[in-house]
Amino acid sequence: MSDVERVLRRVDEQLPQAVERLFELLRIDSISTDPAYKDSCRRAADWLVEDLRSIGFDSARHDTPGHPMVIGHQPGASKAGPHLLFYGHYDVQPVDPLELWHRPPFEPAIEDTAAGKVIRARGAADDKGQLMTFVEACRAWKQTTGSLPTQVSLFFEGEEESGSPSLIPFMQANKSMLEADLALVCDTGMWDSETPTISTMLRGMVGEELTITGPSLDLHSGIYGGPAMNPIRVLTRILADLHDDQGRITLPGFYDGVADIPEDVRSQWASLNHDGGKFLQSVGLSQAAGEADYSVLEQIWARPSCDVNGIWGGYTGEGFKTVLPSKAHAKVSFRLVGEQDPERIQQDLHQHVEDRLPADCTVSYRSKDGSRATVMPVHAPAFRNAQKALTDEWQKEAVYAGCGGSIPVVGHIKQILGMDSLLIGFMLDDDAIHSPNEKYSLNSFHKGTRSWVRILHALAQR
């Protein structure tokens, strides 16, 4: 029996203990966005430090102005293999509305469902369950063979669900602790419950909050309606003009840097047989609203988009109040692909706004840090080896997928540490992350751990 087979057998045998360890972590209510849970976040970090030490990692908690980071290091059996940096986060989303949970969110349990056994708890999938798949894979290697196949560092943060305010400064100040050859990021999902997936394209993002000010105070629309410019009128014009009738975004030069989808990628995606109609139908829609020349999947994975994420101004309560407001606000964001430059798009948006601003109105901005899109080197050996390991475990060809969302840490790893990231995760679309009754399939947890066992072995063989 090979090393890999022995390690996999240990994973199978020790599954109940692994679940119990995950439950310990899930019982810690490490909600990062609410200061009331600051202590819980520290307890989760300390739990991880101790657990990593028990597997032989040289691990420590690193305090920040926000929640602590956890870092652990362990050499590998092979000096020739790459040094891997695994990233995950131990903080979780808030649990409101609590009344929609059918069990307390921090009292994890295995539940039987039509789709098999699931682990039910806040954080079960995002990201405690996912990060523990990797930790359990390391434990199984260490306990079975006495060492890891290759050098591994672990990097866990506790602010991912609250905007990661400490992440960039910490990474910049601690580059030497985080240096490695390749990053592994386990915060993504599977194409479906049977198809293992490597996410190789992530859209970038840039966001802007606009405040249009017209009159210096709220006015009565009877006394001023007509001659007084209403900032909501100005804002709606600005926002309406961001799209043309074909669903294209109108900022001049917006599509500069948006490459055509390569033919091999396009055909691989086509082979996924994604049913765009069904995808939209599941959220009450029947027609794709994006660019007409692209399939739904292509619109999400390979085309940029623009959404107003929030808008507000004037009276929004019950009944009518005939106010002509002083201010109107919107939060706008763009999803970026290819080489689109967030800073340039921000500037172009400002120009678009100012071109439509009457003399009497002013605008102010609150910018969200932008991130570029990520395109991974799918032809590099590490990607091919990982794909093969996943295929072996799941007995189904692992696919390279896009991802419409943005995972900012991937950009930071590239820009600050100079590394590509291998994005592998085992979440399913119905895991209800960020929602009540979050769950993680027990199969994801078990086969996810087995997948990392194989990937660690495969990557060490370079």
User: Segment 360-419, which members bind a copy of itself (CB under 8 A)?
Assistant: 360, 368, 403-406
Provide the residue type at 283 as one letter: V
Q: Which is nearer to a copy of itself, 108 or 370 (CB)?
A: 370
- For a copy of itself, which stretch binds (CB under 8 A), given 13-21, 261-269, 317-325, 440-448? 317-325
Q: Is 227 helix (H, G, I), strand (E, B) or coil?
A: coil
Distance of CA 43 to the CA centre of its chain: 24
| Candidate residues 100, 173, 240, 259; the one interacting with a copy of itself per rule CB under 8 A | 240
Our finding on whether 97 is near a copy of itself (CB under 8 A) is no
- For a copy of itself, which stretch binds (CB under 8 A), given 102-110, 115-123, 355-363, 439-447? 355-363
Give yes or no for a cis peptide into 342 (omega within 30° of 0): no
Our finding on whether 239 is near a copy of itself (CB under 8 A) is yes
Our finding on whether 236 is near a copy of itself (CB under 8 A) is yes
Q: Which is nearer to a copy of itself, 16 or 317 (CB)?
A: 317
Q: How far apart are CA 269 and CA 190, in angstroms?
A: 14
Residue 427 token pair: 């979440």
Contacts (CB under 8 A) with a copy of itself, residues 110-149: none
Our finding on whether 216 is near a copy of itself (CB under 8 A) is yes
**Cβ atoms < 10 Å from Cβ of 195:** 16
Our finding on whether 262 is near a copy of itself (CB under 8 A) is no
Q: Which is nearer to a copy of itself, 137 or 206 (CB)?
A: 206
| Candidate residues 35, 116, 169, 225; the one interacting with a copy of itself per rule CB under 8 A | 225
Whose CA is closest to 447, among 129, 89, 110, 147?
Answer: 129
Q: How far is the CB of 404 from a copy of itself (least distance, A)?
A: 5
Residue 297: enclosing H or E segment and its boundaries? Answer: helix 296-301
- Phi and psi, residue 109, nearest 5°: -155, 160
Q: Which is nearer to a copy of itself, 107 or 343 (CB)?
A: 343
Our finding on whether 248 is near a copy of itself (CB under 8 A) is no
| Candidate residues 15, 60, 77, 308; the one interacting with a copy of itself per rule CB under 8 A | 308
Q: How far apart are CA 263 and CA 260, in angstroms?
A: 9
Q: Which is nearer to a copy of itself, 256 or 429 (CB)?
A: 429
| Candidate residues 325, 338, 342, 425; the one interacting with a copy of itself per rule CB under 8 A | 325
Our finding on whether 229 is near a copy of itself (CB under 8 A) is yes
Q: How far is the CB of 6 from a copy of itself (least distance, A)?
A: 39
At residue 458's C-alpha, the angle toward residues 158 and 52, to 5°, is: 35
Our finding on whether 232 is near a copy of itself (CB under 8 A) is yes
Residue 333: enclosing H or E segment and its boundaries? Answer: strand 327-336
Our finding on whether 266 is near a copy of itself (CB under 8 A) is no
Q: How far apart are CA 95 and CA 105, in angstroms?
A: 7
Our finding on whether 286 is near a copy of itself (CB under 8 A) is yes
Q: How far is the CB of 31 from a copy of itself (least distance, A)?
A: 16
- Phi and psi, residue 38, nearest 5°: -55, -45
Our finding on whether 205 is near a copy of itself (CB under 8 A) is yes
Residue 393 token pair: 């475990």
**Cβ atoms < 10 Å from Cβ of 312:** 13
DSSP assignment string, 127-183: THHHHHHHHHHHHHHHHHHSSBSS-EEEEEES-GGGT-TTHHHHHHHTHHHH--SEE
Our finding on whether 305 is near a copy of itself (CB under 8 A) is yes
Q: Which is nearer to a copy of itself, 58 or 360 (CB)?
A: 360
- For a copy of itself, which stretch binds (CB under 8 A), given 125-133, 151-159, 236-244, 388-396? 236-244
Give residues with Cβ within 8 angstroms of 288, minimum separation 6.
Answer: 276, 280, 295, 296, 299
Q: Which is nearer to a copy of itself, 219 or 458 (CB)?
A: 219
Beta bridge partners of 228: 225
| Candidate residues 115, 223, 259, 270; the one interacting with a copy of itself per rule CB under 8 A | 223
- For a copy of itself, which stretch binds (CB under 8 A), given 34-42, 98-106, 150-158, 322-330? 322-330
